[in-house]
Structure 1
């Protein structure tokens, strides 16, 4: 588990181990997904890809 502190401006530093695991680089966007009282963070491009796949699947039905 990684822990980070929220600054007075509401900013959080993503720990290096997490940035490496998600392949995050300077300037990348991240998405925060809330499900069942939990928050998940992922690279925003992953979310866009999943949204596109869901949209295509719905169109085929």
Structure 2
């Protein structure tokens, strides 16, 4: 089972911003961090969607 928490997402976001400051926003390193962040966000959103469907909107 995939688990992702907000702290992981925030940590990856901060890492990406630091990499971008050093290497630029279009560097391969920054893009790789951005893609990793995208994966975390997609997993998190999928987990929220599953929980919403499981327990309803209330």
- Measured against the shorter chain, the TM-score band is 0.3 to 0.5
Q: Which has the higher helix share?
A: 2
TM-score between both structures, scaled by the size of structure 2: 0.39
TM-score between both structures, scaled by the size of structure 1: 0.37
